[in-house]
Amino acid sequence: MSDLDIALCDASIGDTPAERNFRREVDASLTAFKLSADEQPPWPTADGEWAYDAAIITGSQTAVYNHETWMETLAELLRDLHELDIPLLGVCWGHQFIAQTFGGCVSAMDEYELGYQQIERYDSSLLFADFPAEFIAFETHSDEVVRLPPNATELAGNNRSCQAFSLGTAYGVQFHPEYDLRTVKMVTDGKREEGVSESVVETVLTSATPSRHAKTQTVKRVFENFLSIVGQHQ
């Protein structure tokens, strides 16, 4: 394990596998904060010091444009951290939240992007070091970044939405590099309660095989690459 200390901003609601998944995949010391339960990372000190080397913001079942109190607090913290050049990584909801916080726009899609999807890498960013030009990742989202923040660079995408961007040392990825097969099946099955059709749910579940999920192993490099970026900023 690396000697990096990361603040894990867990934006998921209720009892979820989010923290477990990130602890399994991120090779660093993680301190988790359940944001919706009013757990927030500490603020930087007056002289610009912070207790952690970076922050990761997870996915969530809510929408970034709901503007709940804990979201407003998180946005203020992320602005402070970004001003201090502390690396940030947002995943799914976290990707959308970072975009919105720094002047981008997020809105609802006409239908879910759910399942294993092909993504094209657009940029040679360090976040995608050693990635092929195209790769497979699992997606589950009904909102998307429709306008990037000023001066942001789109790093990856597909025919549905922006899949990754950077803004200085802040990064967002729409897909889920942290999901294991058990999480894929659990999340997909739960989409029935959110109005996703039975046929779509069953199609995704049928595709969720060990061999199919193995093709997503490349995207786990996002975490390794992010930690390399963090190390360079120490």
CB atoms inside a 10 Å sphere around CB 73: 15
Which residues lie closer than 8 Å to 45 by C-beta, 6 or more apart?
Answer: none
Fill in the DSSP letter of residue 133.
S
- Measured CA to CA in angstroms, residue 64 lies from 14, 31, 142, 225 at distances of 17, 23, 11, 26
Task: Mark whether 9 is an active-site residue.
Answer: no
Catalytic residue, chosen from 82, 95, 141, 176, is: 176
Question: How many whole angstroms separate alpha carbon 198 and alpha carbon 191?
Answer: 9
Catalytic residue, chosen from 9, 92, 95, 144, is: 92
**Over the range 149-188, which residues count as b (16 or more CB within 10 Å of their CB) and which as e?**
beebeebbbbebbbbbbbbebbbbbbbbbbbbeebbeebb
Catalytic residue, chosen from 9, 95, 178, 213, is: 178
Task: Mark whether 176 is an active-site residue.
Answer: yes
- Cβ(125)–Cβ(172) under 8 Å? no
Task: Mark whether 178 is an active-site residue.
Answer: yes
Question: How many whole angstroms separate alpha carbon 57 and alpha carbon 100?
Answer: 13
- Please identify every residue annotated as catalytic: 92, 176, 178
